[in-house]
Amino acid sequence: MSINTVSTTPIPGQRPGTSGLRKKVSVFKQAHYLENFVQSVFDTLGDCSGKTLVLGGDGRYHNRVAVQTILRMAAAHGFARVLVGQGGILSTPAVSCVIRKRAALGGIVLSASHNPGGPDGDFGIKYNIANGGPAPENVTEAIYHHTETIRQYRISDAGDIDLNRLGVTRMEDTEVEVIDSVADYAELMQQLFDFDAIRKLFAGGFSMCFDGMHAVSGPYAKAILEGQLGAPAGTVINAVPLEDFGGHHPDPNPVNAAQLIEVMAADDAPDFGAASDGDGDRNMILGRKFDVTPSDSLAILAAHATVAPGYRAGLKGIARSMPTSQAADRVAAALGIPAFETPTGWKFFGNLLDAGKATLCGEESYGTGSDHIREKDGVWAVLFWLNLLAASGKSVEQLASEHWARFGRNYYSRHDYEAVDAKAAHELMASLRIKLATLAGQDLGHFVVSFADDFEYTDPIDGSVAKQQGIRIVMTNGSRIVFRLSGTGTEGATLRVYLERYEADPKYHHLPTQQALSALILIAEQVAGIADWTGRAHPTVIT
Cβ at position 223, least distance to Co ion in Å? 20
The answer to the question of residue 296 lying near ligand VG1 (CB under 6 A) is no
Give 431: exposed, middle or buried? Use CB within 10 Å, 0-12, 13-18, 19+.
middle
Give 356: exposed, middle or buried? Use CB within 10 Å, 0-12, 13-18, 19+.
exposed
Instruction: Verify whether residue 365 is a known catalytic residue.
Output: no
The answer to the question of residue 363 lying near ligand VG1 (CB under 6 A) is yes
Point out which residues pair with 126 in neighbouring strands. 109
Among 39, 40, 96, 113, binds Co ion (CB under 5 A): 113
Could you give the CA distance from residue 460 to residue 237 in angstroms, rounded to a whole number?
42
248-287 footprint of Co ion as x/- string (CB under 5 A): -----------------------------x-x-xx-----
User: For residue 69, which of 148, 143, 8, 154 has the smallest C-alpha distance?
Assistant: 154
Cβ at position 346, least distance to ligand VG1 in Å? 6
Q: Give the pairing of strands 122-128 and 106-110.
A: antiparallel
The answer to the question of residue 488 lying near ligand VG1 (CB under 6 A) is yes
Could you give the CA distance from residue 276 to residue 272 in angstroms, rounded to a whole number?
14
User: For residue 235, which of 216, 215, 263 has the smallest C-alpha distance?
Assistant: 263
What are the φ/ψ torsions at residue 312 (nearest 5 degrees)? -60, -30
The residue (of 156 and 490) whose beta carbon lies closer to ligand VG1 is 490
Among 220, 346, 380, 385, binds ligand VG1 (CB under 6 A): 346
The answer to the question of residue 276 lying near ligand VG1 (CB under 6 A) is no
Cβ at position 100, least distance to Co ion in Å? 19
Cβ at position 195, least distance to ligand VG1 in Å? 26
The answer to the question of residue 344 lying near ligand VG1 (CB under 6 A) is yes
Cβ at position 94, least distance to Co ion in Å? 12
The answer to the question of residue 377 lying near Co ion (CB under 5 A) is no
The residue (of 14 and 321) whose beta carbon lies closer to ligand VG1 is 321
Q: Are 283 and 391 in contact (CB under 8 A)?
A: no
Cα distances from 315 to residues 189, 388, 409, 424, 441, in angstroms, run: 18, 16, 22, 43, 37
Give 39: exposed, middle or buried? Use CB within 10 Å, 0-12, 13-18, 19+.
buried
The residue (of 81 and 320) whose beta carbon lies closer to ligand VG1 is 320
The residue (of 56 and 270) whose beta carbon lies closer to ligand VG1 is 56
**Among 113, 295, 321, 370, the one annotated catalytic:** 113
Q: Give the interface with ligand VG1 as residue ranges (CB under 6 A).
A: 18-19, 113-114, 277, 281-282, 321, 344-346, 363, 365, 367, 486-488, 496
Q: Any idea which residues carry the catalytic annotation?
A: 113
Q: Give the interface with Co ion as residue ranges (CB under 5 A).
A: 113, 277, 279, 281-282
